Amino acid sequence: MLRHVLQSLARHYPQADLTIVRRAFDLAVAAHSGQQRVSGEPYVTHPLAAAQILADIGIDPIAVTAAILHDVPEDTEYSLNDIEEKFGAEVARLVDGVTTLSKFSNHTHEQRQAENIRKMFLAMAVDIRVVLIKLADRLHNMRTLSALTLDKQLRIARQTLEIYAPLAERLGIWSIKWELEDLAFKSLEPESYRELARMLDTRRKGRESFVEKAIETLRPELAGAGIEAELSGRPKHLYSIWKKMQRKGAEIGEIYDVYAIRILVDEVKDCYAA
């Protein structure tokens, strides 16, 4: 797991000295020694997975170091002072921020309270990387939700839809938002999730092919018009399709925008030209 984290960081930060990340790994392994997750896995796999999520989206080595250490002061004999002494004030500040945010997100299903908590998260996080670490922490917890009891799964999934997915959206981290929503949808509406996944899976190759062909058509047209652009496409995620079906009272066959193509350009005028 450490090797994969380091590879992702090196891809985004080829000149960075990653010694601090290796040292954080060594401390986390020692600190969490003997601890297990509910699934039976060594506990240290969780902070490492959170660190991997951040490394993959290009977050800096200091924040990734803090992600590896984010549960150490709360769950082990090492204190926040130990973290600061070994890794510096910046890492310790991020770890402390994640601990503080965690205390505010334990109980809420009421929408107005959820909005207050989202605002509190953003207001309290002097460094936005604290929120990013918390999002990565939650995403890995959602990926491994099945190990928990059903009532805990439902509570955490609702909280994810109310607090964490909207936070990811507000910060523009779409890949995390979409995955959080789909994982929460899978827990909260398992039958609807399975049925929709089954129906879309039969059309997946056609959907992906459509996106690829559209991009192939658009790219030379944009270049011919002198527009520099980045193009990306994806089949839309299950939760967004399901929400649209609910809102319109429609069947899947009546929902046509099941894919999206994004064109990123440098200037507003290029949007209109595109």
Angle at 43 between CA 42 and CA 47, to 5 degrees: 125
Please work out, in degrees rounded to the nearest 5, the angle formed at the alpha carbon of residue 246 by the alpha carbons of 106 and 172: 55
| Residue 224 in this model has a pLDDT that exceeds 80 | yes
- Average pLDDT of the segment spanning 191-206: 76
Task: Based on the residue annotation, tell me whether 221 is a catalytic residue of this protein.
Answer: no
In this prediction, residue 197 carries a pLDDT of 83
Residues 154, 151: Cα–Cα separation, whole Å:
5
Summarised one tens digit per residue, pLDDT across range 91-134 is: 999 999 898 877 766 554 555 566 667 666 666 667 889 999 99
H or E stretch at 262:
strand 259-265
In the chain, % of residues over pLDDT 90: 64
Q: What's the confidence (pLDDT) of residue 104?
A: 65
Q: CA distances (Å), 212 to each of 179, 198, 207, 224, 233, in order?
A: 22, 22, 9, 19, 7
Task: Please state, in angstroms and rounded to a whole number, the distance separating the CA atoms of residues 28 and 23.
Answer: 9
Distances (CA, A) of 231 to 96, 147, 219, 237, 246: 39, 38, 8, 18, 30
Mean pLDDT, to the nearest integer, of 34-51?
Answer: 95
Give the pLDDT of residue 172. 87
74 belongs to the catalytic site: yes
Active-site residue identified among 74, 201, 266, 267: 74
For the cut 90, the answer to whether the pLDDT of residue 33 exceeds it is: yes
- In this prediction, residue 236 carries a pLDDT of 72
Cβ-Cβ contacts under 8 Å for 162 (sequence gap 6 or more): 108, 109, 111, 114
What local confidence, expressed as pLDDT, does residue 47 receive?
Answer: 97
User: Is residue 260 pLDDT above 60, yes or no?
Assistant: yes
C-alpha–C-alpha distance, residues 241 and 256, integer Å = 10
R_g of the chain computed on alpha carbons: 21
Residue 137: pLDDT band (50, 70, 90) is: very high
231, pLDDT greater than 80: yes
Residue 253, pLDDT score: 61
Smallest CA-to-CA distance from 136 within 42, 71, 186 is with 71
pTM of the predicted protein model = 0.79
pLDDT for 30: 96
Structure tokens at 256: 């046509």
Q: Which tens digit of pLDDT belongs to each residue from 173-197? A: 988 999 999 999 999 999 989 888 8
Task: List, for residues 155-167, the tens digit of each pLDDT value.
Answer: 999 999 988 999 8
Report the percent of the chain where pLDDT is more than 70: 86
For 78-87, what is the mean pLDDT? 96
DSSP track, 13-64: -TT---HHHHHHHHHHHHHTTT-B-TTSSBTTHHHHHHHHHHHHTT--HHHH
**CA gap 178, 122 in Å, rounded:** 20
Residue 115, pLDDT score: 67
pLDDT reading at 250 higher than 70: no
Residue 274 scores a pLDDT above 80: yes
Identify the active-site residue in 26, 75, 85, 266.
75
Are 173 and 132 within 8 A, CB to CB? yes
Mean pLDDT computed over every residue of the chain? 88
